[in-house]
Amino acid sequence: MTLEPIIGFEIHVELKTNSKMFCGCKNAPFFAKQPNIYTCPVCLGLPGALPVPNKKAVEWTIMLGLALGCEIPLLSKFDRKHYFYPDLPKGYQISQYDEPLAVGGKLGNIRIRRVHLEEDTAKLMHQNNMTLIDFNRSGVPLVEIVTEPDIRSAEEAKIFLKKIHQIVRYLDISDADMEKGSMRLEPNISVRTGKELPPYKVEVKNINSFRFAGKAIEYEVKRQSELLKAGKTPAQENRGWNEGKGETVPQRSKEEAADYRYFPDPDIPPMRFTQAHIAKLKAQIPELPDAKKARFIKKHGLNDYDASILTETRALADYFEECTKDASVPAKTIANWIINKKVNMKPANLVALIKQSTTVEVVSRAVIAKVLTDNPKAVEDYKKGKEQALMFLVGKVKQITKGKVDAKKTKELLISLLQ
């Protein structure tokens, strides 16, 4: 029996707009000093409150869609997705159903089914047999990226997720901080025995690290494969990753019994876009990691490895390019310094330091050679074992260079040349 893992992802990313998705409340749940300070009738879900979409969040979602190679339909709308759970007091989440903001993209070999916009829910805290609710997070703009089931291994999944994370950060639309939960991963995993897609899938909910996502996938593939080999079909269910146990565990799911009863939100008019507006957003997309990496290889003559490291973040890439503006230092030398020495200084200072350190060595070599020819007696004495002769020679070098060279380095160079 051939077993092949079939993996897709739903990825939620909180946008870092100034205000929330459908109200004017501050969007800063992670910086709030107290629970429930950024709230209003809209994000508390009070009856009669009217949502107004955040234009920036809509535009950023379109830009993300474009960055992932998606089509942007000229019409999009918000729908109500109903379920009953205390993190959502109005009984539904404003999300997008059949007219998402972006559809049909591709990242590497992985097809992107859709990118849509919705609102985050409140945060529940269970303590001392009580559940407390913090609404600071309620109504934060939340993008959901849905892939086709094109991933075949945990390794491939991690590479894909890191790429998504990197693009989101390049666009500067989210902190995408996994530890804080501003980027959350949900792999759906099944294993097929033939050519057809399996008749079930297991969704692992709310994973907060690439490593855990990889481990959850490996665990599920193994668990499901064993069931299949025993002639059973794994159950369609939601599970959670338990890092302590190193396994996935079945989850009582809030949508288990649910029919979401999607329908268009009557409080929010559909959104219509023009090609001109979309073109304008497209023009605002910065150079993305892959393009930047290819350019660094071509323009600066870097190898693949160096170019990958230097384009890891936009800030690092910008730093490197700022340094290369001084054409007198080879880009490769700058790359080596940044990668190997993990420097922490202004670009101009780094370039100055590189220049200084290379010049000092060149100058002192020439000077040392001259000092050695001019002082044969001291050289003889040193060779006979007189240590003071070395200090005499260092003094001569210092005299000529007016003290501009490093004494320790000069001494090292002298010894190596004397030998």
Residues that bind Mn ion in the complex, under the rule CB under 5 A:
144
Tell me how far, at minimum, the Cβ of 12 lies from Zn ion, in Å.
20
Comparing CB distances to Zn ion, the nearer of 23 and 66 is: 23
24 Cβ partners below 8 Å, 6+ apart?
Answer: 40
Quickly tell me which residue has 């019409």 as its tokens: 75
Whether residue 291 contacts residue 173, with contact meaning beta carbons closer than 8 Å, is answered with: no
Nearer Cβ to Zn ion, position 95 or 166? 95
Closest CB to Zn ion among residues 42, 185 = 42
204 binds, among Zn ion, Mn ion, none (CB under 5 to 8 A by kind): none
* Footprint on residues 24-83 left by Zn ion (CB under 5 A): 25, 40, 42-43
Residue 43: which residues within 8 A CB-CB, separation 6 or more? Answer: 20, 22, 23, 25, 119, 135, 138, 139
What single-letter amino acid sits at 146?
A: V
Which residue in the shown chain puts its C-beta closest to Mn ion?
Answer: 144
By beta-carbon proximity to Mn ion, the closer residue of 11 and 110 is: 11
Count of residues making up the chain: 419
Q: How far is the CB of 290 from Zn ion (least distance, A)?
A: 38
Q: Give the whole-angstrom CA distance, residue 80 versus residue 264.
A: 6
- Residue closer to Mn ion, measured from CB, 100 or 234: 100
Q: Measured from the CB of residue 31, what is the shortest distance to Zn ion in angstroms? A: 16
Q: Using an 8 Å Cβ cutoff, are 265 and 275 in contact?
A: no
Question: Which of Zn ion, Mn ion, none does residue 43 bind (CB under 5 to 8 Å by kind)?
Answer: Zn ion
Q: Which does 394 bind (CB under 5 to 8 A by kind): Mn ion, Zn ion, none?
A: none
Closest CB to Mn ion among residues 94, 310: 94
Q: Which of Zn ion, Mn ion, none does residue 343 bind to, with CB < 5 to 8 Å depending on kind? A: none
- Does 23 interact with Zn ion (rule: CB under 5 A)? yes
Smallest gap from residue 12 Cβ to Mn ion (A)? 6
CB of 95 or CB of 248, closer to Zn ion:
95
Quick one: what does residue 144 bind among Mn ion, Zn ion, none, with the CB cut-off 5 to 8 Å set by partner type? Mn ion
User: Cα(214)–Cα(396) distance, rounded to whole angstroms?
Assistant: 63
> What is the four-CA torsion angle of 208, 212, 217, 218, rounded to 10 degrees?
180
**Residue 25 interacts with, from Mn ion, Zn ion, none (CB under 5-8 Å by kind):** Zn ion
Question: 87-106 mask for Zn ion (x: CB under 5 A)?
Answer: --------------------
Q: Contact residues for Zn ion (CB under 5 A)?
A: 23, 25, 40, 42-43
